[in-house]
Every structure is written in structure tokens, then in C-alpha cells.
Amino acid sequence: MSRISKIIFNFIFVVVLFIYNSGYAQINNYWSMGSNTSSSLLGGAVVGGGAEDVAIFYNPAAIEVVAQKQIAFNASVLNFNFYNYNNALSPGQSLDYLEWAVKPRFLSYQFKVKSNPKFNFQITIFSRNEQLTELWDYAEVIVENPATKEEFNYTASYDMDRRYTDYWMGGAVSYKFTPKFSIGMTLFGSAKSLRYYQSSVIDLDPINNTISKNQSWSSIERQYFYAVSLIPKIGFLYKSNQVGYGINITVPSMRLWGDGYNKRSLQYSNITHEGQRKDDFLQSEYNNYIVANIKEPLAISAGITFHSRNNRSKLFFSGEYFAPIKTYKILDNTKISAWGQDEYQPGSDFLSYKYGAREVVNFAIGFRHEVNERFSFLSGVKTNFSSYNPIDDATWENINEYVIMTPSLYHISLGAQFRLKGNTIILGTEYSYGRKDNAMQMANYGYPGVFDEYERIALQNYPTETMNYSSQSIGFYLGYSLDF
């Protein structure tokens, strides 16, 4: 078999291995992460080798320290994110949002023991994911009661702030059984937090009638919680001539602890619908030390790295399968953490929230070319499908669900690496794009709207699957490592 035939065969092997039900999905995207600059610029396609100082995450079997010790730092120098939402709150209405931030990402330390050079060790701390969503809109129009011809001032406002962070810290060891085969293991600790605020308020004020009362509806929720878990990994790496094969298995997360608080209120008053006066309603609850958990799924990745004969060019292919996560209560108000039970007691599911994910598969391709000993060119392309999919059957339909607007994303990256003695500097940029059509609206403001005593809706219409939104981002990165 010719070399070209072997490359084609190996590439098809990886694709076939991961093609099973690759589909698309909705949630936080598993491959939206920071890690190390060189691996990010290669699209993360480094399971089969080439991960360098971030092998602890992609494949711990590939940890290999050339010098006695190495320290590496990576940061996103500047990152711009632009979001556009059409029909989010009412037909024909559009929202735009621009975010920029500076986000430190990755710090690692690698070393080996002189007495047994077959062992390589690494410890690291990095920000795997940071998400910020901020939306605000306000509308005020004059409307007319179709039956009485009475005029009202109709105002509606929507406000959402969602901040999610995920920090990882861990250690790993690799052992080289032979010059061609090695195995590695990692144990990560993950600390995730979510700060969430959502407010939707509607007021209907009579203009010329001093007898009619103001009609109002509002839904407000504010919460914060965190979850700490352990996440083990085990990796395998085999090098044959100019080809490297890698497999990495990530065990489902194991919750250690987590809790938070939630305050939510839902109310309406003085509602008159189709000539009938409706009873007022108010439900307002608060609880602290609510049990929280954010799960990570079983994940299996495989990759192949091809080296040119002079070893100056490398081609990377990787794919990763993420198992589904059964719907569960990410915030469970029916349970209270042990240290909060004296003051707070379990409550109803009015303050509980659900979460779930379907299986998903991502693919990445990377290319690296060493122009000379000091300068290398890097590029990469990857998919980043989302997987949000909580069950909405009779068991779960009354459990709250977050407003999550994360479409499937596609990333392209480009950068350069400079080496001078033991110093390595990496500069690069990454562009990402995603779009979601026919998504459920956040709200559907409109008068006179409907009145639904079961769903607790008034002065508005039912949300429909007519929202379209897109996400674009561009980031500029800087990485540095030192061998000593």
C-alpha cells in the first residue's frame, strides 16, 4: 500500500469511528474552551500527538518534556463577540449585542525525574469556558381595546444577564513503555459557577380613564450557584514511523459538592381579559443552600497525526464523541446542602431547574509547518456542535428551563510560533460563527395577548419558534513557554 493510500485509509478510519449519529444539538458547546494557544490554533486536533504543553487535557499519554522542566502561560489578549437576535421578543424586532473581554486562560508546569526519564509529569490550571450573555430591551406603544376603544399605554421590558465560568485544575503523569507506545492519566478538579438573572415586566396604563386600574404582569428570577467535581482521563499514544495514533477517554464527572440560592417571583394584578376581571396572582419564593450539580458526559476522542519525511510539516485529525446526559435537576430545591439544613428547608420545584444533553460528535483538522528552526505556521478548523436537550414530558414539564442561546459553532484559526533557545512565543487569531433558526422566543409581547391561568401568562402571546439568532467572535491570542 502506498503512503498516500495509507493516509486516506487512516483518515477514513477516524471518520468512520466517530460518524455514528453525529447530528447537531443545542447547549453550551463542549469545544468552547481556552487551553493552550498552539493546540487551539491547530483546532484542538492533537489527540494523536502535537499537543505539547496542553497534552494533559487532550491526551495525557502525549506528555513529553524535552528539557528537564517547562512552564507555559497562555492568554486571550482580546476577544470580541457579536450577537444578533431576530424576533426574540416580538415579530420584526431585532436585538444586537457586542461584548469584549480579556480572559487569562492557561498556566502549566511540566517536569520529569532524572532517575526515571520514562515518566513525565504535568500540573495545570486553566479556564475551560467563560460565557457572558447580556440582553436588554424596552418598548412603549399606545394600544386600543378592540371592544371598548379605550386607549392604553403598553410598556414591556426584558432584561437577562447570564455569566458562566468553568475553571479546571489537575495533575497528570505519562509513562513511555516503549519508544513507540505510552499511556497517561489525568485527574482534574472542575469548579463551575452560574450567575443568572432574568426579568420580564409588562404594564398596561389607561391614558384617559381615571377609573380603570393599571394592569401588570412580571416574572423575575435571580440565582447564583456553583458545583465542584472530579473528572479523570486516560490516554493512549502509539507512534509508527511518520504517523501517531491517539485515544483519550474522559470519565463522566463525579460531583463532590455544590449549592446556591434562587429567588423567583411570578405575579399579575388587575388583569381584565375579554371583558372579564381575573383574580390576582402572586408566587414569590427564596431559598439558600439549594443542591446544585453541573455534569460532564463520558467522552471518547481519537486522533491521527501525520509527519512529513523531514518532520517539518504535520497534519492533524481528531474527533470526539460525547455521550448523552439524562435530564436532571441542575438546581434542585427539593434538596438542601447538609450545612444549610438548620436554617433552610427543602422547598417546591418552583425554584428548581432542569438540564439535559443529547450525544454529539465534533471534528477538527490542523496543519503545522516549520519554515525553519525558529518559525512555524499553524492553522486549524473545527466544529463545535451544541447539545442542549432536556426532556419536556409529563415528569419534567413543570421544571424550569434556562434561556440558553448557544448555536452550533464553527471555528477557523491562524497563527505563528517563534522559538529562541528555550523560549517559545505564539501569536494567533481565531474566528467563530454560529447560527440558529426557528428557536423558541424569549417572550412574545403583544396586546391584548392571551390569559392562561395554568401557564400564568397575561398581556402577551405564547412564545413561538420564530426566533433566529447568530453569533460571531474574533479573538487574538498570546502564548509563552520556557524550557529550563
6 in a structural domain: no
**Bridge partners of 329?**
354
**For residue range 52-75, what is the model confidence (pLDDT) as tens digits?**
888 999 999 999 876 667 787 776
CA atoms of 51 and 125, how far apart (whole Å): 16
Share of the chain above pLDDT 90, in %: 57
CA atoms of 8 and 455, how far apart (whole Å): 56
Instruction: Say if residue 225's pLDDT is above 70.
Output: yes
Length of the chain: 484
224 vs 407: which has the higher pLDDT: 224
**For residue range 352-396, what is the model confidence (pLDDT) as tens digits?**
999 999 999 999 999 999 999 899 999 999 999 988 888 888 789
Instruction: Say if residue 407's pLDDT is above 70.
Output: yes
* pLDDT number for residue 39: 86
pTM for the whole structure: 0.88
Q: Domains in the chain: how many in total? A: 1
> What value does the mean pLDDT take over residues 38-47?
90
Instruction: Say if residue 5's pLDDT is above 80.
Output: no
419, 282, 286, 258: which is closest to 348 by C-alpha? 286
CA atoms of 131 and 196, how far apart (whole Å): 12
CA atoms of 442 and 26, how far apart (whole Å): 16
CA atoms of 457 and 404, how far apart (whole Å): 21
Give the range of the structural domain holding residue 259, as residue numbers without chain letter: 20-483
Pairing of strands 272-273, 299-307: unpaired
- For residues 265 and 218, the answer to whether their CB atoms sit within 8 Å is yes
CA atoms of 135 and 123, how far apart (whole Å): 38
Q: What is the CATH number of the domain that holds 138?
A: 2.40.160.60
Instruction: Say if residue 34's pLDDT is above 60.
Output: no
Instruction: Say if residue 173's pLDDT is above 90.
Output: yes
Instruction: Say if residue 18's pLDDT is above 60.
Output: no
Binning pLDDT at 50, 70 and 90, where does residue 76 land? low
265 in a structural domain: yes
- For residues 330 and 357, the answer to whether their CB atoms sit within 8 Å is no
479 in a structural domain: yes
* pLDDT number for residue 17: 36
Helix (H, G, I), strand (E, B) or coil at 34: coil
**For residue range 411-438, what is the model confidence (pLDDT) as tens digits?**
999 999 998 887 888 899 999 999 999 8
Pairing of strands 353-357, 400-401: parallel
15 in a structural domain: no
300 in a structural domain: yes
* pLDDT number for residue 103: 60
253 in a structural domain: yes
3-class secondary structure per residue, 337-367: CHHHCCCCCCCCHHHCEEEEECCEEEEEEEE
* pLDDT number for residue 281: 96
Q: What is the average pLDDT score of the chain?
A: 87
CA atoms of 64 and 62, how far apart (whole Å): 6
CA distances from 478 to 14, 127, 163, 376, 460 (A): 31, 15, 24, 15, 48
